[in-house]
Amino acid sequence: MIASASRSSGLDIPFVEMPPQYRGAATRHPSDSDVIALEPGAHIAGRYRVLRKIGEGGMGELYACFDTVLSREVAVKLMQRSLAAEPLVAERLMREAMLAAQLRRHVAQVFDCGMLATGEPYIVMELLSGQDMYAVLRESGPLAPEDVIAAMLQVCDGLAEAHEKGIIHRDLKPENLFCATQPDGQVVIKIVDFGVSKQVTGQRMRAQTNPGESVGSPQYMSPEQITSPSEVDTRTDIWSLGVVMFELLTGVLPFRGSGTARICAAVLTEPAPSISNYRSDVPPALEFIVQRCLEKERDRRFPDVLELSAALTALGSTQPEKSRYTSAPPLVTADEAIQDEPAPRPRRRWVGVLCGLAVMGGCTAVLVQGVRQGRIHVPTANELREVPSRIASWRFSLPFRTPTPQQ
């Protein structure tokens, strides 16, 4: 999935109950007994030949492999053997594959999943080349407003499809937004790591977590995700996008603390700081959009990513600078897509004229043939002169009336 990775490689699933993972801190490495030593040339599931190791995290390893059946390079996420023994953790990895496989727009594509004979689950995904947005932020510093707008439009496009299918990501952060470089040099944002996602069907919500268990990265979690994790809806992703935009624009997180409890307290009680405190070149309209995403009462946020995208699109049209990221297509709902379908093209008039001429020509040919064979009588000039007198001699009477003596 990732050709180069930053801090977590998209493999960690942090919990609120765990200590926060601070930027620059060393990633926790599994013990030697947990490591799945796969050298180049080894095979996974008898089909995927290992080319190189991309990275590792708290849950497993990520390998670049060659699919010997379809002759293409892929990424294979393989869970640690010790964690694979935990049914809940293994089920989360398989759920990530199931959810991501339903999505097509701005999401790392899932090709296959399964379980090894030794018990480790694995996911096969597209191999991406590039780096995640945290690596971009770390290397280049805060992004230009036009870059943030263009990138977030692509993220909104991917989230719109996920939300339409009832999928809530719940762990959006710069590490899970991958800047994939395409063969033509363009950069496309891909959403990765649906390991802690929830799926809503009707009024019921399915998840692999306990109803009272908060899952996600505390710095990016919405207030309701902290207090009532089982009652979150798509607006929790909008909050996370607000945190991501704030961080990409300023280089710092809006809510910070020395531990999990203080971070959660800041999210629940402290107002979001102003972006203008950190830089002066951010348009006020963009700061307003970020602040609206960070409303603690979710009813005051953007109701969905479609409206957020519309606000970003309107603001982006006023920014003459060209972004390094590929602009996403406008977001439309299914009903709008049907309404926007082009009307059927009217038939050209000359087609009707040709059809009429063909019919007239056919009738003329039939008449000429009938006259030649004597089946159709052509009246003479004298017979035509007698037609008026014959018509005058005809007597007409109205039906269903009995004539009176006077008539």
Instruction: Indicate if the pLDDT at residue 262 is higher than 60.
Output: yes
Residue 208 in contact with residue 95, Cβ under 8 Å? yes
What average pLDDT score do residues 355-360 get? 78
Q: Which tokens sit at 335?
A: 């009903």
Instruction: Indicate if the pLDDT at residue 75 is higher than 60.
Output: yes
Q: Can you give the pLDDT at residue 208?
A: 40
| Neighbour count for residue 18 (Cβ, 10 Å) | 14
Q: Can you give the pLDDT at residue 342?
A: 55
Q: Can you give the pLDDT at residue 347?
A: 53
CA distances from 183 to 18, 201, 403 (A): 39, 38, 96
What average pLDDT score do residues 269-286 get? 95
All structural domains of the chain, each given as residue ranges with its CATH number in brackets, are 43-126 (3.30.200.20), 130-335 (1.10.510.10)
Residue 109 in contact with residue 126, Cβ under 8 Å? yes
- Rg of the chain over CA atoms, in angstroms? 35
Instruction: Indicate if the pLDDT at residue 338 is higher than 70.
Output: no
**84-99 tens-digit pLDDT:** 667 676 777 777 777 7
Report the chain's mean pLDDT, rounded to a whole number.
78
Instruction: Indicate if the pLDDT at residue 268 is higher than 70.
Output: yes
Residue 24 in contact with residue 75, Cβ under 8 Å? no
Give the global pTM: 0.69
Catalytic residues: 171
CA 219, CA 269: separation in Å to the nearest integer? 14
- pLDDT bin (cut points 50, 70, 90) of residue 178 is very high
Q: Can you give the pLDDT at residue 396?
A: 55
CA 168, CA 155: separation in Å to the nearest integer? 13
Three-class HEC string of the chain: CECCCCCCCCCCCCECCCCCCCCCCCCCCCCCCCCCCCCCCCEECCCEEEEEEEEECCCEEEEEEEECCCCEEEEEEEECHHHHCCHHHHHHHHHHHHHHCCCCCCECCEEEEEECCCCCEEEEEECECEEEHHHHHHHHCCCCHHHHHHHHHHHHHHHHHHHHCCEECCCCCHHHEEEEECCCCCEEEEECCCCCCEEEECCEEECCCCCCCCECCHHHCCHHHHHCHHHCCCHHHHHHHHHHHHHHHHCCCCCCCCCHHHHHHHHHHCCCCCHHHCCCCCCHHHHHHHHHHCCCCHHHCCCCHHHHHHHHHHHHCCCCCCCCCCCCCCCCCHHHHHHCCCCCCCCCHHHHHHHHHHHHHHHHHHHHHHHHCCCCCCCCHHHHHCHHHHHHHCCCCCCCCCCCCCC
Q: Can you give the pLDDT at residue 207?
A: 41
